[in-house]
Homo-oligomer: A and B are copies of this chain.
Amino acid sequence: MTMPTHPLETLDTPAAIIDVARMQANIARMQQRMDTLGVALRPHVKTSKCTPVAQAQLAAGARGVTVSTLKEAEQFFEAGIGDILYAVGMAEHRLPAALALRRRGCDLKIVTDNSAAARAIAAFGREHGERLEVWIEIDTDGHRSGIKPDEAALLDVGAALHAGGMQLGGVMTHAGSSYDLDTPEALAAMAEQERAGCVRAAERLRAAGLPCPVVSVGSTPTALSAAQLPGVTEVRAGVYVFFDLVMHNIGVCRTDELALSVLTTVIGHQAEKGWVIVDAGWMAMSRDQGTRKQKRDFGYGQACTLDGALLPGYTLIGANQEHGILAAAAPAGEDVVARFPIGTRLRILPNHACATGAQFPQYHALAPDGGLRAWDRAHGW
């Protein structure tokens, strides 16, 4: 074998590569935008589940993190991050684990959107002598969870928590339907809808004599599209740290801002079909085909050279567990065997960075000077 000439030739494949310069640019871009809008940034670390990434976000000015599981909360608390919002509706059976974290000194906030859970949380808190901090989840776009800003239930839940002896910390919302949009006007309108709904909920609670200091909104698309955020105290966003092809189709990033790619090796061809077989299948990319219903379908991902330059038209048109099928969108009779010989290394940009990252126990962080460091990430619950 020839001597490696590129740091990425030293790795086995498939491998998850973070372009650290691009990641830092993404971190700076979002932080500066939030600073300009006058709100705190609480990044969602479910995208990376990686301590060095979160530390870079905090070093740039982020205040606290958002997590999607208590396992992430434990990971980041152990890394020294104490201000943590667990942003999935609290299940009663997880209360002991949440209490344990708080008793170890973690400033853990939990969320709820219904009276049954709110009462269970308050009862548990009283039983254990713990004034749990709870935020109410607000539904501002019909996408998923939450109480609508004008629902009567909002005040019931607020009262159940506050009168129940818990610390009603604020309201939070996530306009996940922003992922279905792709024009600046629609995104700006959704960002305003998200803001206005969450602020409305806060105002109703306060008018009823209930505390509501925090107003937390966010998704990457709305965070990058909001014109102004009066009444909002913090924004949450996750995937911006790496971006991905779904975000590119939505229109909030260029392809040269995508910081996560999958390194892969060519292992075969079906020349008459213009197919290049690579060792990045769906186990590496994930099964996420989020661009399929967007303006441009990138299959299982967009191919680039080892140096990260786009190979226009070449996407993974199919994937099995450990095989990816790379082909040109409009095969023009190119000799793929000559262009991509056996052993060629390529990089594949993912549809969805949160999904692709989850397939790997670690990232390989590639610094501008060519240095490579292995950064572990968490798996499971």
Please report A residues at the B interface, Cβ cutoff 8 Å: 1, 12-15, 46, 68-69, 88-94, 97, 113-114, 116-117, 120, 139, 142, 144-145, 176, 265, 267-270, 273, 277, 279, 282-283, 286-289, 320-323, 325, 341-343, 352, 354-355, 358-362, 379-381
Contact = CB atoms under 8 A, between A and B. Distances in A.
Contact of A354 (B1, B120, B321, B341): B321
A281 to B, nearest CB: 8
A46 B320 CA distance: 12
Given A283-B358, A361-B380, A380-B360, A269 B114 contact: yes
Nearest to A69: B322
Contacts of A359: 358, 380
Contacts of A277: 89, 144-145
A91 B13 contact: yes
A15 B117 CA distance: 21
Contacts of A117: 267-268, 342
Nearest to A4: B93
16 contacts: A1-B93, A13-B91, A14-B381, A46-B321, A68-B283, A91-B279, A93-B265, A116-B341, A117-B267, A120-B343, A142-B270, A144-B277, A286-B287, A287-B288, A358-B359, A379-B379
A289 B287 CA distance: 8
A319 to B, nearest CB: 10
Given A46-B321, A144-B320, 6 more contacts: A12-B94, A68-B283, A117-B268, A142-B270, A145-B323, A358-B359
Given A68-B322, A359-B358, A12 B268 contact: no
B265 A91 contact: yes
B320 A176 contact: yes
A354 B359 CA distance: 13
Nearest to A323: B144
A332 B325 CA distance: 43
A30 to B, nearest CB: 19
B91 A267 contact: yes
Nearest to A360: B380
B343 A88 contact: no
Cβ-closest 10 pairs across A and B? A287-B287, A361-B380, A89-B267, A287-B288, A116-B342, A68-B322, A89-B268, A88-B322, A145-B268, A91-B265
A91 B9 CA distance: 13
A350 B335 CA distance: 40
A323 B277 CA distance: 34
A323 B145 CA distance: 9
A117 to B, nearest CB: 5
A158 to B, nearest CB: 16
B325 A88 contact: no
Contacts of A270: 139, 142, 144-145
B355 A379 contact: no
Contacts of A381: 12-15
B279 A144 contact: no
A343 B91 contact: yes
Contacts of A97: 12
Contacts of A358: 283, 359
Contacts of A342: 92, 114, 116-117, 120
Contacts of A287: 286-289, 352, 355
A113 B269 CA distance: 9
